[in-house]
A and B are shown apart, each in its own frame.
Chain A
Amino acid sequence: MEVSDGYQTPGERQQQQWMDQAFSMAEEALEKGEVPVGCLMVHNNEILGRGRNQVNETKNATRHAELVAVDEVLEWCARNNRQRSPVLASTALYVTVEPCVMCAAALRLLNIPLVVYGCRNERFGGCGSVLNIPTENLEDTGTPFQCVGGYRAEEAVELLKTFYKAENPNAPKSKVRKKE
């Protein structure tokens, strides 16, 4: 399926593999005491950026997995002497949780054509849960993008639940660790 000029959506099996890697990033976030969200940014079947939530580490509440991964893509462009806009316009995001309103707006501003996500984000979701940024009429805020949700959604929710349980200082230590 074609979602924008020159961008071809990869096959489903390929997409699942990207999502599996995004889940590894989410698990890494959990181990580091961060909200377990992980993501990958893929351009021409090549991973240009990986991200996991880094809010606590950086004391910056905007350091969501998506924005961390975007920085890696931008660095990749600089390193490889590639123009940013055409690369971003054909880079898909694979993320374990629906992007929040902030990240959805950021993805629009960068003209990312496709987002594949796991579970919904009822508290902050910007792709339908709280607002629907990908399809809104915002002429000054980049371009609309396609959004596909629901991949390994239950596992993504379980990861989040584990995190919020772990944050409770009264919770038993054993429950903090995720099962291998």
Chain B
Amino acid sequence: MEPHCKRRRTEEMDPFPWEMIPVLSDEKSGDVELVEAYAAPIFNKKETSRLVKLMANIYPLNDLPHIKRVRACVDKDSDHPLEILICLRSSASVADVPDRKPSLIDLLPSGMGDCNSLGQPFQVTIPAKQPLTRPQFEAASQHWPTAFHENKQVTEALRGQLFNPEEKAKMQMFMGKAIEAARAGKEMGMEPVGAVIVDPATNQIIAVGHDCRNGPNALLHAVMVCIDLVAHGQGGGAFDHNKYPNCLFVATKDLSEDNNVIDIGKPLIPLDHQNAPGSGKDLPYICTGYDLYVSREPCVMCAMALVHSRIHRVFYATSSPDGALGTKYKIHTKKDLNHHYEVFKGLMEKECQRL
């Protein structure tokens, strides 16, 4: 299952002087939110399934589908084996009396069925939302058992296990190229920001660029430069980068045959009909499937430009004050937008801080 593990020597478990952490959505990275609820002991185990049905009728807990109705009693020596969740404190049918514990009669309307095997209700705190990550699940389970559908990738990422040393070495190499570009740009009087776009399927560098905002166009941040360089490689492009010897692209298709292929009157691949017949799946659609390595967290313009460009993953080194991939916004996880991408920060952070 983990063939690359045998290569690891304990002496040098992690030869990389940086730590890369995923930038998750607020829902995934946040603390477990709790709500107050009432539960009661079940003295007669055999009554459990009937009681579960009964409670589901009276208090369906529709907004808490992740909550398991019954838990084993935490105290092994107690007089009852199981406990059942009755209802949220806020939805209890009894008026809230702060100093008095509600009784079963308060919580359960009369004539609803036999509740003789239930004990005195007590207050518990339960997780308000379904846990999305293993740390959240572990925290949530301390309070009350919950359902959890583990996203293995997120768990591995949080443990720092998502990338093996071989992959990390490649990432370090790509960020190294971005740093080189940043330095070259700096020598030309630019902001010291560099970026590299890579096709992870082939490990081929598609574009290398540096920030050009101090040139004639203040909007040519490193990311915007790289997006345009990729476009040049596909036979398009909007800017002339010839003045900048360190802004480079690789043609992803034969541009010599391209004269008749580009039909300006026809969208390359219509945004909403990518599965439509004849949509030309073999053509690269802007940055689809590509990774971006950038020395500094992108601003909101650049982060949104990457949404429009359908980038696959972004690796950045250092945070920016108005950064849009973790600091001020998490554009890559924004629900209302039609494309999302993965973001990791911290790759070669120290080197990039010195830029």
Q: Which chain A residues have a beta carbon within 8 Å of chain B's beta carbons?
A: 32-34, 54-63, 67-68, 70-71, 74, 78, 84, 100-103, 105-106, 109-110, 123-124, 126, 130-131, 133, 138-141, 164, 167-169
Contact = CB atoms under 8 A, between A and B. Distances in A.
B238 A63 contact: yes
Contacts of B270: 167-168
B182 interface: no
A160 B302 CA distance: 25
Given A59-B231, A60-B231, A61-B286, 17 more contacts: A32-B264, A32-B265, A33-B265, A61-B287, A71-B217, A74-B216, A102-B304, A102-B305, A103-B301, A105-B301, A123-B338, A124-B308, A133-B300, A138-B328, A140-B320, A141-B300, A167-B267
A140 B322 contact: yes
B277 interface: yes
A70 B231 contact: no
B304 A141 contact: no
A147 B186 CA distance: 36
Given A130-B336, A138-B322, A164-B272, A62 B267 contact: no
Interface in B209-239: 216-219, 224, 227-228, 230-231, 234-238
Contacts, number: 127
Interface of B: 216-219, 224, 227-228, 230-231, 234-238, 264-268, 270-273, 276-278, 286-287, 299-302, 304-305, 307-310, 320-322, 328-329, 331, 334, 336-338
Given A60-B236, A139-B321, A140-B321, A70 B219 contact: yes
Contacts of A63: 238
B109 to A, nearest CB: 45
Contact of A61 (B227, B299, B328, B331): B227
Given A139-B321, A140-B321, A109 B264 contact: no
Given A32-B265, A105-B300, A62 B224 contact: yes
A138 B237 contact: no
Nearest to A61: B308
B233 to A, nearest CB: 9
Contact of B308 (A33, A62, A139): A62
A28 to B, nearest CB: 12
